[in-house]
Amino acid sequence: MAESYRRSQWSNGLFVLPYLAVFLVLLVFPLVWGAWLSLHKVDLFGPGRFVGLANYGRVLADPVFLQALRNTVVFVLVSVPSLVALGLFLALALNKTTRATSFLRALFFSSSVLSVTIVTLIWRFVFIPGDGLLAVISEQLGIAPVNFLSTSGWSLFSVGVATVWWCLGLPMMLFLAALQQIPSDLYEAAALDNAGPWRVLTRVTLPSIARTIMLVTIIQIVMQFQLFGQAQLMTNGGPNGTSRPLVMYIYEVGFVRWDVGKAAAASEFLFLIILVAAMAQYLVSTRKSEVSE
Amino acid sequence: MSASIEITNVTKRYGALTVLDDVSLSIEAGEFVVFLGPSGCGKSTLLRMIAGLEDVTAGTIAVGGERVDTLPPGKRGVAMVFQSYALYPHMTVAQNMSFGLENIGMAKAEIGRRVEQAAATLEIAHLLDRKPAKLSGGQRQRVAIGRAIVKEPKAFLFDEPLSNLDAALRGRTRLELAQLHARLGSTMIFVTHDQVEAMTLADRIVIMHDRKIEQIGTPMEIYQRPASRFVAGFVGSPAMNFVPVKGVNENGGTLRIETCGLGDVAAAIRLPARFSPEGGCLGIRAEDVTVLPAGEAGIPLKADVVERLGDRTLIYGQLADGTKLAAETDGRSEARSGDTLQIALDTSALHLFDAAGIAHHAGGD
Ligand SMILES: Nc1ncnc2c1ncn2[C@@H]1O[C@H](COP(=O)(O)OP(=O)(O)OP(=O)(O)O)[C@@H](O)[C@H]1O
Ligand SMILES: [Mg+2]
C-alpha cells in the first residue's frame, strides 16, 4: 500500500515534467543567461569579457535610456488607468444579456484578436497626415491638422490610443465575468435600501469586484511596460525618441548596434521595474482584501 | 407604524407563463400572515411584487391605503429579509444596518440610536464591527432581520428566512420571530413551505396552489375545515386519508356515504342539492381513526408499516379492498406490521370532497 502510494506520487510528478522542461528552457535559462550577459562585454562574434556592473552604469548614464524610461512610465501611467476605467465602463454598460449587448461585447473584444501589424495599419489610417481620417475631419472643420505621428507629445499619445483600442477587450471581459458573479439579491437589497445608482456602484458593485480590478491592473502594467510593436510601426520611436519605449531601446542597442551586454543590462532594469510594480500592486491588494474580510 | 396591505386582482405573467392569476388578499395592520404552498406556486413572486422587486402584470397593491405598485421598492415603506440574507459582504454589520438609513439622509445620531437598539434587541451588539463572512448562519440571519427592523417599516416581508438554519436554530428563531411580532406589532408576511412554521407563526395562513389562493384562514380553520382537497392533503402530517366514494344517501339530517374500503359511513354532513358523488372522496385524518382494543369489532385494517414516534404510533395499512389508510394510536401500541387491526372512525371529523375537490365538513357545510 505505502509502496504503491509512493510510486504513484513519482508518476504524478511525470505529468508536470514537460511543462517544467519548457519553463526551464524558455524562461529560467534565458533569465539567468540574460543576467550573465549583462555582466559581460559581448558582441555577437566573440565570447564576452567580464566587466562587472559596468553595463549597468553605461545604461544609467545613457540619456536615450532615461528618455525611453520616462516615455514608458508616462505611457503606463496613462494607458493602464484608461484601460481599467474604459474596460470597467464598457463592462458596466454591457452587463445585461440582450442581443445588442452580446453583439457589442463581441465587437469590442474582436480588436484583441488582431495582430499588432493590423492594429497599427488601422490606426495609421486614422492618424496619417494628409489622407488620414483625423486629417480629413479637421480639414472639413477648418482646423489646422495636427501631424499626430511626428509631433512630439502627439506621437506617444497616438500610440497610446491605438494600444488602448487594441487591449480593451481583455479588461472588459474580465470585468464582465466578475460582475456576473455578484449575486442579484444584493442589488435587490440595495433597491429596498433606497440606494441610488451611484451608491450602488460605489458601495456594492465596485467593492465586489475589487480583486478583479487589481488583477486587471497588474496584468496591464506588466503588458504595457513591454510596449514595442505599435511604437515601432506607427512612429518608429520618433520624433527625436519622444515615443521610444524601453523595449525598443533594448532592441536598438542589442540588435541594431549589437551592444548585447548593454541591452541585457537594460532588460534587467525593465524586468526589475515590472517585478516591483506587480509586487506593489499585489501587496496592496492582499492587504486590502485582508482588511475587507 | 404597521399598515394594512391590500392586494386586488393581481396577475403575474412571464411571457406566456401565468404564475399568479387574479389574486386578491387583504391583510390587516399588525397581522402575521404566512404564505404557504408547494414549491413553484408563486409565493415568492407575490411577496416580491409587494416589495417592488417584480412588476405587477395586472391589478393593484396598496400599503397603508396608498397604492404602491407603481413605486420603486425603496419608496414602499416595506423591508424584506431574503432567504440568502443578501448582506453586503464588504460592509460591517453596523454598516449593513445603517446603509438604508444613510440613503434617505437620516441624521447620524438617529441612525446610531436605531442600530444600537436593534442590535440590543437581537443580541448582536458584540458583532457590529464584523463582516458577514465572519458570522455564523444564525448570526447572519439576525443581522438581516436587524437591517429590516432599523427601517421601522410599515410591513416586514420574509422569504423563507429560516430555511438555511439547522433544525434547532430554526425552532428557536421561529419563537423569537413570534416574540418580535408581539413586541413590534408590525404587519408581517412570511413565505414558507414548512407547515410547522406556518401553523405556529401565523395569525392567518394563505394557502397557494396552481396560480391561485386556495384558502385563507386561521391555522385551526385551515387544519380543521380545509376548503379543498388540495388544502386537506397539503396541511397536516401524515397527510389526510382519502377514500373513494361510491354514492351518498341523505335521510333525515344524516348522510350515509357508501365508500370503497370503509363500507357505509354515517356522517352529519349537509350537502348542497346538486352534490354529485361521482369522483368524490371521503377524507379523514389519521388522528381521527381509532385503533380498537383487541376483541372489539370494527373495520379491519392490515398494517403494512408501523412508525413509532414515542408519544404516538402511526400505522400505515390497507383496507379490505386495498385502499391505503393511516391511523394514529398511542405510543404504547404493540401493533406490528402484518397484524390486522380493528379500527373505528370519528364521524364528527369527516370531510367529503366532490370531484372538483370542494370540501363539505361534518357539523357544518
Ligand atoms: N423570472 C422568471 N421568469 C420566468 N418564470 C419565473 C421567473 N421567476 C419565477 N418564475 C416561475 O414562477 C413560478 C413561481 O415562482 P416562485 O419563485 O414564486 O415560487 P415559490 O412558490 O416561491 O417556490 P419555492 O417554494 O420553490 O420558493 C415558478 O413556476 C417559476 O418557475
Ligand atoms: Mg420562493
Q: What is the pLDDT of residue A288?
A: 59
How many angstroms is it from B83 CA to the middle of ligand 1?
Answer: 14
Chain B contact set for A193 (CB, 8 A): 74, 99-100, 103, 147
Q: Read off the pLDDT of residues B294-342 as tens digits, 9 standing for 90 and up.
A: 888 889 999 999 999 988 999 999 998 888 999 999 888 888 888 899 9
- Interchain CB contacts (distance < 8 Å): A and B: 67
B88: Cβ below 6 Å to ligand 1? no
Q: Between B162 and A4, where is the model more confident?
A: B162
Is residue B122 domain-shared with residue B248, that is, in the same domain? no
**Structure confidence at residue A48 as a pLDDT band (50, 70, 90):** confident
The three cell numbers of residue B234 are 397539503
Cell of A52: 562587472
- My answer on whether B222 and B256 are in the same domain is no
Q: Which grid coordinates belong to A176?
A: 464582465
In angstroms, rounded to a whole number, what is the distance separating the alpha carbons of residues B168 and B275?
47
What's the domain range around B122? 5-228
Ligand nearest to the CA of B38: 1
Q: Rounded to an integer, what is the distance from CA A204 to the centroid of its chain?
A: 28
Give the pLDDT confidence score for residue A232 in this predicted structure: 86
Asked if B131 reaches chain A (Cβ–Cβ under 8 Å), the answer is yes
Strand partners, B208: B213
In this structure, the answer to whether residues B237 and B199 fall within a common structural domain is no
Domain boundary among B228, B256, B282: B228
What's the residue count for chain B?
Answer: 365
Give the residue-averaged pLDDT of A228-252. Answer: 87
Residue B152 is inside which H or E element, if any? none
Helix (H) and strand (E) counts in chain B: 8, 21
Considering only residues A281 and B204, tell me which one the structure prediction assigns the higher pLDDT.
Answer: B204
State the Cα–Cα distance between residues A212 and A218, nearest whole angstrom.
10
Chain B residue with minimum CA distance to A204: B88
ipTM: 0.85
Q: Tell me the per-residue pLDDT of B121-165, one tens digit each, with 9 for 90 and over.
A: 888 999 999 999 999 988 999 999 999 999 999 999 999 988 888
| 3-class state of residue A289 by DSSP | helix
Q: Which atom of ligand 1 lies at the shortest distance from residue B42's CA?
A: 18
Name the average pLDDT for chain A.
Answer: 86
Q: What is the pTM of this model?
A: 0.83
Helical segments of A2-62, H only: 2-23, 29-38, 54-61
Residue A130 lies in a domain: no
Scanning B297-352, the segments in alpha helix (DSSP H) are none
Ligand 1 centroid – CA B191 distance (Å): 13
Check: CB of residue B84 under 8 Å from CB of residue B132.
no
* Position B166 confidence tier, pLDDT thresholds 50, 70, 90: confident
Three-state DSSP class for residue B29: coil
pLDDT of the residue at B98: 94
Residues B252-284: pLDDT tens digits? Answer: 777 888 888 888 888 888 888 788 888 889 999
Cβ neighbours of residue B81 closer than 8 Å, sequence gap 6 or more = B144, B145, B147, B148, B156, B157, B158, B159, B161
Amino acid (one-letter) located at A194: N
Distance CA B42, CA B348 (A): 35
Asked if residue B239 and residue B215 are part of one domain, the reply reads no
- A interface with B, Cβ–Cβ < 8 A, is 183, 185-186, 188-196, 199, 203-204, 207-208, 210, 292-293
Query: The domain that contains A60 carries what CATH number?
Result: 1.10.3720.10
Smallest-distance ligand from the CA of B40? 1
- CA-nearest residue for atom 22, ligand 1, is B44
B36 Cβ closer than 6 Å to some ligand 1 atom: no
Query: Using one digit for the tens of pLDDT, what is the confidence trace for B192-230?
Result: 988 989 999 999 999 999 899 999 999 999 999 999 999
pLDDT of residue A8: 65
B333: cell is 401500541
Residues facing B216 on adjacent strands: B206
Q: Tell me, yes or no, whether A72 lies in a domain.
A: yes
Any idea what DSSP says for residue B228? Answer: B
Among residues A117, A81, A83, the alpha carbon closest in space to that of A230 is found at A117
- The reply to whether ligand 1 has any atom less than 6 angstroms from the CB of B43 is yes
Atom index in ligand 1 nearest the CA of residue B37 equals 21
Number of folded domains in chain A?
1
pLDDT, tens digit (0-9, with 9 covering 90-100), for A92-116: 999 888 889 889 888 888 888 888 8
How far apart, in whole angstroms, are the C-alpha atoms of residue A207 and residue A292?
A: 9
Asked if residue A34 belongs to a domain, the reply is: no
